[in-house]
Amino acid sequence: MTAVDQYHIRGTNIDAGDYDKRTPLPLACAGGHLNVAEFLVTHGKNVNCHDRWGSTPLNDAIRNHHDPVAQLLRKHGGKEGANDYQQFDDVTIPISVTSDVTAFIWASSKGNLDAMLPYVARGVSLDSAGYDARTALHLAASEGYLSVVRYLLANYANVNPLDRRSQTPLDDAIRHGHSNSNVEAILREAGAVECTAS
């Protein structure tokens, strides 16, 4: 909470999202951090922000059984959005996610291979993942960036990493409308599989 307050005092946009359009509020709600969620609701602009999957902070609170947080959100007009993708707790999230890793994954989400390469040269693993266990391949497949997908696979990136929702890059390609594109074909050719979790 102290760090959140310090960033707010410095003028940080607390409604800014990451490569999956997840802002600090849904992350606080997913973790059950009532004091942080209350601060963000009080100082933020959008209690019903939507992430890449259409989920809202209230979805995150409910999904993770944080009833006090859900009550807070409802009190401030929080509503449920899409809730199509179940979260799983058995995915190991990397314990040392660096700013280089975040920048590398962000560049892949924009399809910018040139921006990715300096981080690779500095030693960032192609299989590095963010807080949600999503890798560069997840993001490139989600957005249909064929050149990035080809690069990652040609350099032996794991073709079937599971994110926090137990979804693979192939799941992302299909879900975001790239099922008839070369992205799906090259993933399948490399051995990609769809998630079998229900």
Who has greater pLDDT, 83 or 157? 157
**Residue 90 domain-assigned?**
no
Count of Cβ atoms closer than 10 Å to residue 145 Cβ? 22
CATH number of the structural domain spanning residue 164: 1.25.40.20
Q: Is residue 19 part of a domain?
A: yes
Does 68 map to a domain? yes
More confident residue, 82 or 173: 173
* Rg, the chain, Cα only: 17
pTM of the model: 0.62
113 with 150, same domain: the answer is yes
111 and 146 inside one domain: yes
Cα–Cα distance for residue pair 25/5, rounded to 1 Å = 13
Indicate if 110 and 61 belong to the same structural domain: no
In a domain, 166, yes or no: yes
Structure tokens at 171: 């799941």
pLDDT in tens, 164-181: 889 999 999 998 887 667
Which structural domain, as residue segments, surrounds residue 55? 2-75
- Residue 8's CB is within 10 A of a number of other CB atoms, namely 16
How many domains are contained in the chain? 2
Crossing angle of helices 136-143/182-189, nearest 10°? Answer: 140
Tell whether 80 is covered by a domain: no
Question: What does the pLDDT look like over 12-38, one tens digit per residue?
Answer: 888 888 877 888 999 899 889 999 999
Can you give the pLDDT at residue 83?
61
- Can you tell me the distance from the alpha carbon of 173 to that of 193, in angstroms, rounded to the nearest whole number? 11
Cβ 120 vs Cβ 152: under 8 Å: no
